[in-house]
Structure 1
Amino acid sequence: MTASAQHAPAPLPIALDRFPVSLDCTPLPSGGERAWTQRAIEILENDALRSADTHLLKLDVPALPGIDIYLKDESTHPTGSLKHRVARSLLLFAICNGRVNEGTPIIEASSGSTAVSEAYFARLLGLPFYAVMPRTTSAEKIAAIELYGGHCHLVDSPKAIYAEAAALSARVGGAYLDQFTYAERATDWRANNIAQSIFDQMRGERHPVPSWIVMSAGTGGTAATIGRYIRYRHLSTRLCVPDAEHSVFYDSYAQRCPTVTCERGSRIEGIGRPRVEPSFIPDVVDHMMKVPDTASLAGMKVLSRRLGRRVGGSTGTNFFGLCWIAARMRDAGQTGSLVTLICDSGDRYRNTYYDAGWMRENGFDTAPYEAVLEDFLDGKPAL
């Protein structure tokens, strides 16, 4: 047998145009069904290209000469919060998984900021948007969602938002984005994420590899991205997740129990949950603490004064946790850098956290915690 004969393909037993077998099959696609998908992805990617990276601010604290404090300012995104990144990722994730197509209504369960950002992106894509939120959500966030053409469905119990969002999605034939499940997987934790941005921006600083990054948990997705990136890049940085007072993340972490729940919803908008969300990944967290709500709001006020502009309550939780870590470092004679996030602007809470009457009615007296923080930052006894 010659070499050419040896490698010649075997002849087909029948001609393809006379294939006799009948199959159950769906109609062949026309080829144009992905045009909207391709255009939608282009729109979302172009939005990312137009958005410059957020600033990394250095907070001047002369009383901590060996410890540098940095704040990643996520409030400068087009929709005013950290959730701008998350919302874009969630929409891309849903589109690329085939769950969102032209005309698909978008539904989300949210405490406000994610819904604001998703409403913005839904409008860019020409899609209807519905947000299911606790009735306690700030009026400013509700107004922002409606500004972008979104519809708000308010429920009395924070624990009811999940079931109501799923039910609403079924009623309108929509796609429930479910940030609490998908936030940790919609973002690529290996590159092009907030963690990479932080470390890139820190490259030229005195302590370029932070000793700690402090990030509270709403879904847990951002903390998961940071924690995974730290491990992926073999970095010595540790991740601290401060939790809100009425939230189960800390209890779950300390008890190693993923099923713990609580009845009362968090009073710090954007963070803290009544159940352990699927996006919370405890094994990438190095340290947690439970921060009293009054301490979070004191941290919000103190940092706002030092920055000369208002930040939100979850940023106050982050800042209080950072100061607590800084105090431990100072007491141990350690030096290094600490990074946390400004999650959103305090302008969204003019009628709540920044309203003296509202604070009194809700039993918040932040003065004692404010004094402790100010003393610490001025070099007086440690926190």
Structure 2
Amino acid sequence: MSADRTGSWAGDALARIQAELPATPLRALAAASAGGVDVLVKDETALPTGSLKYRHLRALFAHAITTGHVGAGTHVVVATGGAVAVAGAYLAGLLGLPFTAVVPARTGPDVLDRIERHGGRWRRAELPPAAGQQEGAALADRLGGHFLDHFADADRAMAAGGPTLADEVFAETTPEWIVVGVGTGATSAAVGRYLRRHRLPTRLAVVDSESSAYFPAWVTGAPDYATGMPSRIPGIGRPRVEPGFQPDLIDLVIPVPDGASVAAMRWARDTAGLDACPATGANLWGARHLARRMRENGTNGSIVTINGDSGEAYRNTHLDAEWLRARGLDPTPFEAEAGDWG
């Protein structure tokens, strides 16, 4: 089928995408709220694919259609696993487009099943993870399709227009702090731009995983900082600084031990009644640090953070004791602290 990049197909496709963005709830986290500090969680699991990454892929699809890169019949390719690939498959299915995800070698069967359930296809990457984007782009070229590079383009696509997570949060409240993770950098950049544009007093903190490049890059000011080590916390952390990371928009970067992310995820699930993913655990660890600091300083107010994905997708990984042990990930030293918000 030829690609109709203008006219009726594009207009109908954009209308479908625009209709597929329900506002997600902002929930009070009662187990963490005390002493004049309220903790609120923006629950992105209410999005169509249950993940914050849906916002990124929705923006990428809309931008690609608007700019004429995707039309009727265009084969869409991404090079990643997890929530990004699932969201891509869902949106491609919504628009009747063929879709392939080039997934990392260790991508689990749960993710692959979800890609297929939404009508997408997947193939294992043949190159090392660092070359994943090039492999995806090459496949799209061979198919005569379009490669969605969420690392390079998500921030630009989200900045091009449409409601963002920040629009929704600040329509309801103006917290002292908002805490988000940083993977592509698109979410933190969107929030940071919103704060500056509207001259709001809220400060932006981002959390970073152990082996990631973002915290050292923020501290040193080196834009090309790289560790070469993949993150063990899906959705946040990168071995290099991605183009979407905008350090000038960020007030604080909080490094979070990987074991602490898992401990906080477990605390959220078992004590706070929040079905959280490992990246949400990192967010909560950062929010806990700020809540304790506010209480020590006698500052009242609220902190907003994000639940970017449910824990269900991690029942065979970060919620499995044997899986953690095999990877040297031990949440035990952090379990007491995870529940101490005082």
1:195: which partner in 2?
Answer: 166
Q: How far apart in 1 are the matches of 2:154 and 2:136?
A: 16
Matches within 5 A, 1:214-253: 214-253=179-218
Q: Give unmatched runs, 5+ long, in structure 2.
A: none
Alignment TM-score, normalising by the size of structure 1: 0.84
Is residue 132 from structure 1 mapped to residue 87 from structure 2 by the alignment?
Answer: no
2:103 is the counterpart of 1:103:
no
Deviation at 1:115, TM superposition (A): 1.3
Aligned residue number for residue 123 of structure 2: 153
**Which position in structure 2 is the counterpart of 1:169?**
140
Shift of 1:250: 1.1
Distance 2:180 2:91 in 1: 25
| Range that drifts further, 331-340 or 62-71 | 62-71
Q: Secondary structure at the match of 1:234?
A: coil
Number of the residue aligned with 1:315: 280
- In the TM superposition, what whole-angstrom CA distance separates every residue of 1:150-183 from its partner, at most 9, and x where no partner exists? 1223336331211111111111111111111111
> Once structures 1 and 2 are overlaid, which stretch shifts more, 227-236 or 104-113?
104-113
Residue aligning to 1:186: 157
Q: 1:146 to 1:188 in 2, by over 3 A?
A: same
State the one-letter code of the partner of 1:269.
P
Q: Which amino acid aligns with 1:341?
A: I
Instruction: Pick which of 270-279 and 127-136 moved more.
Output: 127-136
Aligned to 1:120: 90
Give, in angstroms, the shift of residue 133 of structure 1.
2.6
* Residue 66 (structure 1) aligned to one of 36, 40, 54: 36
- Contact 1:189–1:229 (CA under 8 A) maintained in structure 2: no
- Counterpart of 2:243, as a letter, is P
For the structure 1 residues 146 and 198, does the alpha-carbon distance in structure 2 shift closer, same or farther, using more than 3 Å as the test? Answer: same
For 1:290, the equivalent position in structure 2 comes to: 255
Secondary structure at 1:47's aligned position in 2?
Answer: coil
Residue 139 (structure 1) shift: 2.8
Q: CA deviation at 1:105?
A: 0.7
In structure 1, list runs of 5 or more residues that go unmatched.
1-30, 203-208
Q: Pick the structure with greater CA Rg.
A: 1
Contact kept in structure 1, 2:63 and 2:160, CA below 8 Å:
no
Aligned to 2:17: 44
CA offsets 1:269-315 (integer angstroms, 9 cap, x no match): 11111121111111101100211111111111111123335311110
Q: CA shift at 1:356, angstroms?
A: 1.5
Task: Report the CA distance between 1:81 and its aligned residue.
Answer: 0.4
Fraction of identical pairs, as percent: 41
Q: Are the structure 2 counterparts of residues 70 and 309 from structure 1 closer, same or farther at C-alpha, using a change threshold of 3 Å? A: closer
Deviation of 1:138 after TM superposition, in Å, equals 3.6
